[in-house]
Each structure stands twice: as structure tokens, then as C-alpha cells.
Amino acid sequence: MRKIIFVTGNPHKVREAGDILSHVGITVEQNNCGYPELQENELEPIASFGARWAADKLDSEVMVDDSGLFIGALGGFPGPYSAYVFDTLGNERILKLMEGETNRRAVFKCVIGYCRPGEEPYLFSGEVAGEIANESRGSGGFGYDPIFAVGGMTFGEMVEEEKNRLSHRYAALSKFALWLKKGH
């Protein structure tokens, strides 16, 4: 089976990618070497740079995932800084920032960057629209999952299979898998 290295420190993402890509004959292997993250307002240049950097460093075909939660009432914050903001503030402080807000719309976005050594990267994106819940609910998932709701349920309240079918990452990984299936 063909192997693609997923450069991430998040085993949840690796498991989700492995489940989806196994259907097209791809094994996903995690590498936590990291990559320099550009300070950008959009996910695409971050994923593109990270994929190219990691492919050249590891001399292998790689994938990276840059994801973010874009909250309408907060001007798209935290966006590409979502991981840092989650580690620094956590869900409870995000909920505090949202107190009194009637516009609770938010979008989870994911960009998968794929690259082979010495080549240009390819990008695959997905997103899911939802809203910020009034309180943290559920113990499933990770990160912002307990405060991001779709159809009245947070990702944290959903079983993993249900969340994965709706998720921004699933949408991006499905596009990537389809592209790989076409012989790329």
C-alpha cells in the first residue's frame, strides 16, 4: 500500500485521515516533526508552505492539515490562530467573549496541503457551517468540538462517526481521496 506521511501532532486527525484514505489504498503515518507556520489570515498559504517544507525536509510525500474556527461575531477570530487561541484561552473564555451575542454563526474550515519533494503543493479544502453553543456540551472530539454546534448538537455530543461525516476535515479529506483515486 502507498504511504503518505501526515505531519501533525494530533493523533485524532491521523486516525480520521487514515480511515478515509484507507478506502483508496493509502496508509497514513504520523510524523510530529512540525513545520514553520506562516502568520497569515487565511489557511491556504499556511498549508501550502507547510506541505512543501515538510515534503522537502522528509524527502517523502506528505500531507498537512491547517484548520480553523471562524466566528462571525468576532470578525472571523480565531481563524488561522485557532490552535494557539484554544491552548491559551480554551473554550470557556471563547464562550465568555460570545456572551450577549445574538449572531453565533461560525464556520470550521480545513485545508489539506499535499506535496511531493521538489514539487508544487496541492490544496483540498472543506468547511462546515454551524454556531457557537451557549455552553460547552459533550465530551467527545477535541478542541472546539464541545462548543461548535450543527443542527442543535455540538460536535462534542456526537459519536465520532457522525461528527466525521459532517466535519470540515472529512470534506477536505474526501476531496483529497477522490483526487488520489484518480491516479495522482
Percent above pLDDT 70 for the chain? 100
- The answer, yes or no, to whether residue 178 has pLDDT greater than 90, is yes
- The answer, yes or no, to whether residue 164 has pLDDT greater than 90, is no
pLDDT at 138: 95
Mean pLDDT of all residues in the chain?
Answer: 94
Residue written as cell 454563526?
105
pLDDT class of 175 with cuts at 50, 70, 90: very high
Query: Is 87 among the catalytic positions?
Result: no
- The answer, yes or no, to whether residue 55 has pLDDT greater than 90, is yes
Q: How many CB atoms lie within 10 A of CB 173?
A: 26
- The answer, yes or no, to whether residue 49 has pLDDT greater than 90, is yes
Amino acid making up residue 1: M
pLDDT at 62: 97
pLDDT at 118: 95
The three cell numbers locating residue 168: 470540515
pLDDT at 33: 86
Task: Report residue 88 CA to chain centroid gap.
Answer: 18
- The answer, yes or no, to whether residue 161 has pLDDT greater than 90, is no
Contact (Cβ atoms closer than 8 angstroms) between residue 176 and residue 21: yes
Catalytic choice (59, 65, 66, 145): 66
CA distance 97 to 74: 8
CA distance 109 to 82: 11
User: In CATH, what number is assigned to the domain containing residue 167?
Assistant: 3.90.950.10
Helix (H) / strand (E) containing 166 = helix 160-166
- The answer, yes or no, to whether residue 140 has pLDDT greater than 90, is no
For the chain, the domain total comes to 1
State which residues form the domain around 76. Answer: 2-181
Average of per-residue pLDDT across 132-136: 97
Contact (Cβ atoms closer than 8 angstroms) between residue 41 and residue 16: no
Average of per-residue pLDDT across 83-108: 96
Average of per-residue pLDDT across 92-116: 97
Amino acid making up residue 57: K
